[in-house]
Amino acid sequence: MSDEVTAAEKWDRRFFELSHLVASWSEDRGRKVGAVIVGPANDIRAIGFNGLPRRVDAELEVRHARENGEKYYWFEHAERNAIYNAARSGIGTEGCRMYTNLFPCADCTRGIIQSGIVELNTFAAPEADEVFKRSFEVARVMLSEAGVNLRVFPPDFI
């Protein structure tokens, strides 16, 4: 086995590093998620992080409450934000790849499939997350049935 890193692996690392950087911009106080949409020529098409919609006040404390589920009404996920950002700018996502620093939920997976993304690069779903456990299970099934290439990387990849 060679210690040599392939060009493809270098790109994977770069895009995962970018997803982590973008995640740091999140307004969510509990979970930072970033997504990067990449074209066939390794061109960055769009990025997204989890946060409230544009022009919606993120400073109101009640909108951050996970315990009672309130935050789920207010926050958009990184994966869909990346898709929306591409659409808003008139940038196509058909045939693209997505890199995320967290496994996507079922809602985001539907967006990934519907936007024509053909490959998802991510990390394993957090096993301790009871809120999204079923959603992660459904996401895996949808990705498989839709033929989206799912590449799950070990946590220490970057």
Residue 18, pLDDT > 90, answer yes
Task: Give the pLDDT confidence of 65-90 residue by residue, as tens digits.
Answer: 888 889 999 999 999 999 999 999 99
Assess contact for 46 and 78: CB atoms under 8 A.
no
What pLDDT, on a 0 to 100 scale, did the predictor assign at position 22? 98
Percent of residues, the chain, with pLDDT higher than 90? 84
What pLDDT, on a 0 to 100 scale, did the predictor assign at position 3? 62
Give me the mean pLDDT over the 37-51 stretch: 98
Give me the mean pLDDT over the 100-104 stretch: 96
Class of residue 66 by CB neighbours under 10 A (exposed 0-12, middle 13-18, buried 19+): middle
What pLDDT, on a 0 to 100 scale, did the predictor assign at position 1? 43
φ, ψ for residue 41 (rounded to 5)?
Answer: -100, 25
What pLDDT, on a 0 to 100 scale, did the predictor assign at position 2? 52
Give me the mean pLDDT over the 132-148 stretch: 95
- Give the least confident one: 30-34, 66-70, 117-121: 66-70
> At residue 64, what is the residue type?
H
Sign of torsion over alpha carbons 66, 71, 72, 75: negative
* Bridge partners, residue 100, by sequence: 35
Domains, in order of start, for the chain: 7-152 (3.40.140.10)
DSSP secondary structure of the chain: ---PPPHHHHHHHHHHHHHHHHHTT---SS---EEEEE-TTS-EEEEEESBPPTTS-S--GGGG--TTSTHHHHPBPHHHHHHHHHHHTT---TT-EEEESS---HHHHHHHHHTT--EEEEEPPPTT-TTTHHHHHHHHHHHHHHT-EEEEEPTT--
Determine the Cα–Cα distance for residues 83 and 40; give it in Å rounded to an integer: 16
Catalytic positions = 79
Q: Using pLDDT thresholds of 50, 70 and 90, give the confidence band for residue 129.
A: confident
131 or 108, greater pLDDT: 108
pTM as predicted? 0.93
